[in-house]
Structure formats: structure tokens, C-alpha cells
Amino acid sequence: MIPSSNLKYHLFDENPVNRTEILHRVLFILFNIDAIPRYKARPDMKDCEHALGYFVETLIRKDEYTFTIESFLQTIRNFCEKQVIAVDADILFDLLYYAHILVPFGSDYCFKFTSWLYYFVAHRMHHYPDFAEFILSDMRYIRFPEVMEFYTGIDRQREDAVRILAKDLRTGVATVQKKCGLPKDLNPLPFLEWQPSPENLEKMHSELRDGVAASNLPDVIKDRYADRDYDRSRPYSQYVPIVLCHSKLLARILPTLLLVPKLQVEQH
């Protein structure tokens, strides 16, 4: 684990406001501790973020989230060789494993927390617009909602993400309104008060009831909403006054009903 004394020293007067910054500082501690043997070259943190960003991109595109140590080392080495980056893949793996960022998963390995995966995905999106377009297009980011948090938290200037989210939200709202068919002027909020009167409550219920009835919602939903105020126990309720009233009525007409058979016999 990362020594708590180092962490306190680095964050003594710091107050990170988002998880992107927190994980960045944890990595800073990780890459500056004395766990690395002196005879091995200490990897550069920025170079490692670039390499790990490429690695997680391959995982996302393949939709695979476990990997072998051989595939990890080979992917990192190929990327570093292509980009002319001096990162020792073995040291990088050891660091991540030592800090419990990577953990065993059967015979493979994976990120212990998805937050680390999304953190490196966000950095890859930040440095490579093609990958950012891949995640943001066709609403793929819905599968990784935390990616948007880490992506926008890098420098808080991700206008592309804001534009995409705003456009998709408008499209989603329009689609829902079209399918539901609710009246555009449906708005019970004007009748809302801190202590609403019975009349205003009835107006709000009426506004919603009429709006739902005139919508394109399925009949099952309409019936369910219409039955919200229905008292299911009412048919089974027998009030005492009603019972007594019926009893008195029966007591009065019972003698007459008993005389009917006798009158019929006498007539014959």
C-alpha cells in the first residue's frame, strides 16, 4: 500500500475538488515512493499515463476488461516503441500491482476499481481526439457514465462533452415527449403552494389526470393512474347505519312477504 506519511505530506495544504485530481495525486505519490529499486529506472508519470491510456483504449474497443500479464506487457512495449517513450513495462506493471491498482482475476488481471480504468480512458480521450469522438458518438458514453466525470474533470474545459450531452438530452426529451404524447401545456406547478388548499390540490390532480388521459401512454398506465384514488376496500365496507336501515326495512316488509303465499292459496 502507499505510505500514508507520503500521502499526508503531499496533500497537506491541498483540497482536490474532483476524483480526477484525487487519482492524479495518488499516482504522483505512487511514482515517487521508494518502492522502486535504485538499480531500475524510475518511469515518468506522464509517459505512463499515455501508455496506460492506449492500453485501456484497446480494452474498451474490444469490450474486454480482463487481460493477461503477457498482453499487458506486449501492448505497453509496442506503444512505447512506436511513440519513442522510455517506459519499462515490467516496472510499470509491478508498480500498479504493488499499489493494488491491478489485481488477479482468475488466471488474468484486471483493474481493482473501474475508477482507475475510467481515469486512464479519460486521459486517452483528452490527448487523442479520435478516441474521444469514438466514446462520445452514438451515445457510447452511456455505458461508462463515470468517464464523463473524469474527462470533464481533467481541465474543466471540455466543451465538446458539454455540447454532446446537451444535444443528446434535447434529442432524448423530444423522443420521450413524442412517444408519451403529453400536452405541451401540462404544468401543474402553478397551483403548487407551501400550504395548498383543497381546491388547488384538486386542480393539480385534475391537470395531471386530464393530461395522462389525453396522452399516448399505454392503456395500462392510464388505467393505473386513474385507479390511484380508487378505494379497493369500499365494495367490502358495510357501515353499521346502512345495515340497520336495511334491517328495519326488512322487518317492515317481511310480514307482507309472508302473507303472499297464503293469499295465493286462498285465491285458488
Contacts of 27 (CB under 8 A, 6+ apart): 45, 48, 49
Tens digits of residue pLDDT in 131-167: 999 999 888 888 888 899 899 888 888 888 889 989 9
Low-confidence ranges of the chain (pLDDT < 50): 1-4, 6-13, 240, 244, 263, 265-266, 268
pLDDT of res. 243: 53
Task: Evaluate whether 45 touches 28 at the Cβ level (below 8 Å).
Answer: yes
pLDDT of res. 80: 93
pLDDT of res. 81: 93
pLDDT of res. 265: 44
Q: How far apart are CA 1 and CA 220, in angstroms?
A: 56
pLDDT of res. 12: 42
Cell numbers linked to 217: 401512454
Tell me the helix, strand and coil percentages in the chain, rounded to 5: 65, 5, 30
pTM, two decimal places: 0.67
Strands (E), 64-160: 102-105, 108-111
